[in-house]
Structure 1
């Protein structure tokens, strides 16, 4: 026996026509559109808290990186070698009873006629807790030649007497973090004599280089050079074994300088005053060669100073992490309002097309799910990396919102449409984060396309909500 009333199956609940609604001011599409805009603006409050969370985690990561660098070695800066010769000028100053003898202490710095720096930098990632930092061990060799000092190098300024103390000339190398030297450093002279280096920069001083993060006050090493050698010129050979992290910089100390560097790190970031004239980058690492001639350096062959020269003319390479996800997520937060607005536009259009009501609180819930996407992205990226984290967070947010919107609008089609829309939005956001140079271009095109689609699909909507027919629709059915 069949009952007169049957329970509708789940299939009949899908895509069924919406109930008719009496006109009210709050039901009008125009008011709903304004309410959606208000909800979008209010969602900027939790998104700001998420941005603060991202910055807090980034600060924590930098703090752990500094801890690792302080134990292993910071950003290294190899500046030298320079031949430093201190001397004095003695002269009389003043008149009458106030006449006195003055000793003026001066320092001359000579640059190598030729300098070749070659080395291999072996990079690995050191982890502490969930954070990691690229650290390296560098095997470098500095070789070249100092020519005999030019005539007239020790000229008196005040007409006094010049005195060059015997045994005070030293060869100086500035190093960003001396604590990270892994072996004793020796100076090979003319291929037949070896001199050990001592700590310190002798009569020179070295200031931190702007923009270069260092975990210790820059210092250096020095080795004594006999007068008979530096007066007639000499060749040198200096092997260096040192640790460091993040980056390595070299100064073009020679009148002509050649730097050849190899590494197993496949993501180099070449930086400094000079870029390599040739480079080769592969999945196994990179090779780079710099050649800096005398004129390009812009400094004379002899300089009178008490500072290590060329601290503002370094060249080098940063060992860049493939994705700095803290910076990437922080940048993506700038697109949050557009990201949420596009999602709400899609829901609004579906609401107008299906006729089912979607309350403004439901819009807020959809927006909160999109905000939580950023939190999930941050949390998973710290453990699994940016790519897998983005896939997990975006997939979860897409499925949750598509299912919720489809069930709320009583339409499987609406759910499928939102799945496509959200997947497209997440794909565009990912492309924006990966292509920084084209972010503005991509964003402007997407905004224009989104507006054009919205204008097209809402062209027949009665924004007053009174049920009046659009003139074009009336003509079609007239």
Structure 2
């Protein structure tokens, strides 16, 4: 037995806190597991329908072959050959798009899909003349295939309809091109192409495209002047890529955004000519977080520039559950402090609380996070939080009333727990103000503890029964 009962009790409560922290860590692992299953659901939907979409182009291209006669060291001649592609990005690319989101589900998990109607106005000042090939070897003989128009995509399975027309003029009128599968490009293989007619002078095309995808839509600014207008019915966009919109408007009904990028600011046109590959995008469920822009990791210098929008869920139950668990030890610490204060301040009126009772209170607090995780998979996060917190407040209020021996103490404890749950909910939903709210709340809690214990004689509290405090003044 401890000579100092209060010290032994504190050690017992410390052991309980350590065990509860291990239990919180296990619940955190469960949150990670469920989050990983959500990511697998996203990949499953993408495998079964269409994944994230990135548009590269449209581009004019032509496959050419050069043959030349070479002489070896023995004086013999041989014919050598090389095959290469000539690519011409457009001078002006103007894209208008209307996007409608379509939720898809794998079991309990929701995946944000979409269908977008795109209209592309494309111009080449030199037309197919921009594809003029030149021989690199003396006496080289060139032979080139017919020029084609190609549009590369992130996932060609999302193409529902595509149409290419020349813009009508007084001389030639409007001509519709035949769209065929495949791009004919060595690097950008996903997409379609159309054979370009043999025309001279500037080329002005109108392209309409109906495209389905999942979670993310991006455009590579390949033209000398790229403009993109996007309207969608999703109110929670996350803008990323190398260039943010020059204008954006977000309402509860949706958003609209406008980008404009010049070739002076982007190397995409040059990199596309070289065949620079796209970099893999981050998983949207991993990086989804409330906010309008800058949520996804920035691309590296070896990636094509993109204009990107991701359709995120602002209330991701697994992200918010993970953030809530980070406040778990704060929950337990403040609750244990409240019980200890009740013991210290009401010795004559309050029953002594055993460490096992502290453990039961801590288990109830820990069970809240498991309830929150399970309910948030079936209800909105706000309702899940309300139900889980109300159940725990009721349980703790009733148990504490019996534990301390007074219903008034139980009501006060329940009210304090309700206030603590309300504070944590504000922290979870106020990402930008979380630090301010948390620091002010902790300061007020510390101030309340200091004020309530200002007259407590801590030496007498730690003095064993029947022994006089050596530092107390002598009795006259």
TM-score scaled by structure 1?
A: 0.83
1:86, distance to aligned residue in structure 2 (A): 2.3
Cα distance change of structure 1 residues 86 and 345 upon mapping to structure 2, 3 Å threshold: same
* Cα distance, 1:193 vs structure 2: 1.3
1:29-428 equivalence runs, <5 A: 30-93=7-70, 95-97=72-74, 100-148=78-126, 154-161=133-140, 163-167=142-146, 169-183=147-161, 185-191=162-168, 192-206=174-188, 219-226=190-197, 228-229=198-199, 232-299=201-268, 304-307=273-276, 312-355=304-347, 356-428=351-423
1:189-244 CA-to-partner distances (Å, cap 9, x unmatched) read 243111122222213313xxxxxxxxxxx711111113x33x53311111111211
Select between 171-180 and 446-455 the one with higher mean Cα deviation: 446-455
Q: 2:258 and 2:19 mapped to 1: Cα distance?
A: 54
CA distance in structure 2 between the aligned counterparts of 1:372 and 1:163, rounded to whole angstroms? 75
The 8 Å contact of residues 61 and 148 in structure 2, kept in 1 or not, is answered as yes
Report the equivalent of 1:430.
Answer: 425
Alpha-carbon spacing, 1:470–1:320, altered in 2? closer, same or farther (3 Å): farther
Q: Deviations over 1:283-304 (max 9, x none)?
A: 2211111111221123557964
TM-aligned CA distance change 1:279 to 1:300, over 3 Å: closer
Q: Distance in 2 between matches of 1:470 and 1:155?
A: 101
The 1:84/1:426 distance shift into structure 2, 3 A limit, reads: same
CA RMSD after TM alignment: 3.0
Separation in 1 of the partners of 2:447 and 2:181?
A: 69
| SS of corresponding position for 1:363 | helix
List alignment gaps of at least 5 residues for structure 1: 1-22, 207-217
> What is the Cα deviation at residue 93 of structure 1?
4.6
Quote the Cα distance in structure 2 between the aligned partners of 1:162 and 1:305: 23
> By how many angstroms is 1:68 displaced?
2.9
> How far 1:308 moved relative to its partner?
6.2
Following superposition, the deviation at residue 381 of structure 1 comes to 0.9
Aligned equivalents of 2:273 and 2:136: distance in 1?
12
TM-superposed deviation, 1:409: 0.7
- The secondary structure found in structure 2 opposite 1:232 is coil
Aligned equivalent of 1:11: none
2:290 corresponds to: none
Deviation of 1:129 after TM superposition, in Å, equals 3.0
**More divergent stretch after superposition (297-306 vs 378-387):** 297-306
User: Are the structure 2 counterparts of residues 196 and 244 from structure 1 closer, same or farther at C-alpha, using a change threshold of 3 Å?
Assistant: same
Report deviation, 1:400: 0.9
Aligned to 1:20: none
Counterparts of 1:446 and 1:297, CA distance in 2: 47
> TM-score, normalised to structure 2's length?
0.84
Contact in 2 for aligned 1:328/1:433 (Cα 8 Å): yes
Taking a change above 3 Å as real, the CA distance of residues 316 and 152 of structure 1, as seen in their structure-2 partners, is closer
User: Which SS does the other structure have where 2:150 is aligned?
Assistant: strand
- How far apart are 1:106 and its partner, in Å? 2.0
Aligned residue for 1:295, secondary structure, equals coil
TM-superposed deviation, 1:383: 1.0
Structure 2 gap segments, 5+ residues each: 169-173, 280-302
In structure 2, distance between residues paired with 1:274 and 1:267: 18
Judge conservation of contact 1:87–1:162 (CA < 8 Å) in 2.
no
Q: Residue 462 of structure 2 corresponds to which residue in structure 1?
A: 464
The aligned residue for residue 8 of structure 1 is: none
Q: CA deviation at 1:359?
A: 0.6
2: CA distance between counterparts of 1:225 and 1:309?
A: 26
User: How far off its partner does 1:91 sit?
Assistant: 3.6
Higher relative contact order (CA 8 A, sep 6+): 1
1:65 CA displacement? 2.9
Task: Report the 3-state secondary structure (helix = DSSP H, G, I; strand = E; otherwise coil) of the residue aligned with 1:384.
Answer: coil
Q: CA deviation at 1:153?
A: 5.8
Q: Measure, in 2, the Cα distance between the counterparts of 1:352 and 1:240.
A: 73
Q: Distance in 1 between matches of 2:269 and 2:211?
A: 30
Cα distance between partner residues in 2 of 1:274 and 1:370: 45
Is residue 65–residue 143 contact of structure 2 (8 Å, CA) maintained in 1? yes
CA distance in 1, matches of 2:98, 2:469: 74
Q: Secondary structure at the match of 2:144?
A: coil
Question: 3-state DSSP class of the match of 2:377?
Answer: helix
Distance in 1, matches of 2:47 and 2:428, equals 32
Q: CA deviation at 1:341?
A: 0.9
Q: 1:313 to 1:260 in 2, by over 3 A?
A: same
